[in-house]
Amino acid sequence: MQRRDFLRTTVAGGLGLSTLARQTLAQMPRIEPARANPGFQPDVELALTAQRGDWAVLPGAQTSLWHFTGQVMKGDASVLSFADGSGHLPVLRLRRGQKVRIHFDNRLPEASIVHWHGLNIPQRMDGHPMYAIEPGERYVYEFEIVNRAGTYWFHPHPHERTSFQVYQGLSGLLLVTDDEEAQANLPAGEQDVPLVIQDRSFDEHNQLRYIGNMRHDWMMGFSGERVLVNGHPQYSRQVSRTAHRIRLFNGSNATLYHLRWSHGQPFTVIGTDGGLLEQARQQESLTLGIGERVDVWVDFSGQAAGSSVHLLAESYTPSLENFTETQQGEALQDGARPIAGFVMSNAPATEVAAPGRLSVYPALSAADAVNAGAPRRVQISMRMGSFYLNNRVFGGMQDVADDSVVKLGSTEVWEFANDARMGMGMGMGMGGMMQMAHPMHVHNVQFTVQSRIPADQSSALHRRLSAGFTDYGLKDVVVVLPGERVQVLMKFENHTGLYLYHCHILEHEDLGMMQNYRVEA
């Protein structure tokens, strides 16, 4: 048996996927990997390789990871760097309007494909699992960056293996800049700090420990015992006493983070998934669903030289169990764990005025939606240990349900309804656990949250987490709490084709909590 078949059988068998789904996958016709198109004139050209490598993560033995590495073939060397010298968490820096060609080489022991999370690009470039390439193969991406300046990211998206591959270390950031951002005069260079937040568990040999093959484990998603920031278990960075832009990114598989500063100051939020806000907003805490990004501005000029400011985190599983206490790391402060430290340098402090107007973007109006009065509903439910979107589990790779076809150029309201009144006939003794938060993601668009209709009985925890949501910016992930209904407004622009929407808890996605949608001319 080939390794890929072995993995597929084990996972599919372990997760109890329907025979139908397995057959459909097995019968998938081979799609030729995209190749370089001689008519495409790239401004930037990169080689990006997914491979295995050993890295020092914890003290002692190195950890075997799967990770991206790469090389700039055309363009400025600054296009590719690695977060805090981690060597294995790539950060791509691109500019709006640039044409980019990326040669993706799969040197993993199994099939993979890369998805550019948040970007508006053609179907063939979006990393749909149907395009997964085998070990040794190459897929050439070519697209133009039309997205606004902001913090996007990329990760593998092969069907049923996304969670495993991301957990092994495969993810990276894609930062887009543009002229509008340059006008906003935001902190740059050393003062522009991306922070990738990911939790992992390790065995006694410092190797990654992941989930078991029980369906129950997968339903809960995997949350690790240690929080790594930019790949470091005890992240600390010396900073100058001035303003910084900190790009917070939750790159975990299943954990929701509720964040605040240790010095008691609110966050000054300047951007969300889809780029800069029109104006900065203050917020005491931030709740980051899986895959979410929030850009904050912070001024360290009032801090004493040598002192530290920490980013504090509470960690929640999808079932909203707070497991901060059982995580390892620095001592708790007020029920939260310091996950990143900023140590003030001795250089003189420089005060910087808080950012004013940041950007202008075309506001979508509910009145322009083709279905303003009747949102397209995406019902989230759970029965017999499976998650459903509109009563369906992801099946045929190219199947599109009638309720998932939209028109190019149209604006629509979608409602994600997290039905909390289920659980009958669950089996496996899971009666008490069906209330879960699901971070919902739509490929190919940035949406605005129109309304959030709370559960009939919302708990104090719901209200606490809600206070940390950034529902005001452009987003591509929105956390839907148990019993909640969230309406989003989005416009399907530039490309017809097949795209995905799914829960971004990676184990849920791999369990089939995912659907195709089609944009038609």
Task: List residues near ligand C2O by CB under 6 A.
Answer: 115, 117, 155, 157, 291, 441, 443, 500, 502, 504
From the CB of residue 303, how many other CB atoms can be counted at a distance below 10 Å? 17
Backbone angles phi, psi at 224, to 5 degrees: -85, 165
User: Least distance from C-beta 1 to ligand C2O, angstroms?
Assistant: 29
Q: How many other CB atoms are found less than 10 A from the CB of residue 468?
A: 21
User: In whole angstroms, how far apart are CA 12 and each of 4, 15, 17, 19, 463?
Assistant: 12, 5, 5, 9, 37
| Beta carbon nearer to Cu ion, 157 or 310 | 157
Binding partner of residue 174 among Cu ion, ligand C2O, none, CB cut-off 5 to 8 Å per kind: none
User: What amino acid occupies position 323?
Assistant: F
- Quote the tokens at residue 186: 């935001």
Q: How many helices (H) and strands (E) does the chain have?
A: 7, 31
Q: Which is nearer to ligand C2O, 485 or 502 (CB)?
A: 502
Q: What is the DSSP string of 417-474?
A: EE--S--TT--TT-GGG----EEEEETT--BEEEEEE--SS--HHHHHHHTT--TTS-
Say if CB 442 and CB 493 are below 8 A apart.
Answer: no
Shortest CB 307 distance to Cu ion, Å: 39
Q: Is 67 in the site for Cu ion (CB under 5 A)?
A: no
Whichever of 96 and 117 has its CB closer to ligand C2O, that residue is 117
Amino acid at 97: G
Interface with Cu ion, residue 503, by CB under 5 A:
yes
Look at residue 291 and give the partner it binds from ligand C2O, Cu ion, none, a contact being a CB closer than 5 to 8 Å depending on partner kind.
ligand C2O
Least Cβ distance, residue 144 to ligand C2O (angstroms): 20
Binding to Cu ion, residues 415-454 (CB under 5 A): 438, 443
Binders in 346-405 for Cu ion, by CB under 5 A: none
- Take residue 391 and report the two structure tokens written for it: 């009563």
Q: Which does 438 bind (CB under 5 to 8 A by kind): ligand C2O, Cu ion, none?
A: Cu ion
Q: Which does 256 bind (CB under 5 to 8 A by kind): ligand C2O, Cu ion, none?
A: none
Task: Specify the stretch interacting with Cu ion by CB under 5 A; choose among 109-117, 256-264, 277-285, 301-309.
Answer: 109-117
* Residue 479 touches Cu ion, criterion: CB under 5 A: no
* Residue 502 interacts with, from Cu ion, ligand C2O, none (CB under 5-8 Å by kind): ligand C2O
508 binds, among ligand C2O, Cu ion, none (CB under 5 to 8 A by kind): Cu ion
Longest dimension (CA), the chain: 66
List residues near Cu ion by CB under 5 A: 117, 438, 443, 503, 505, 508
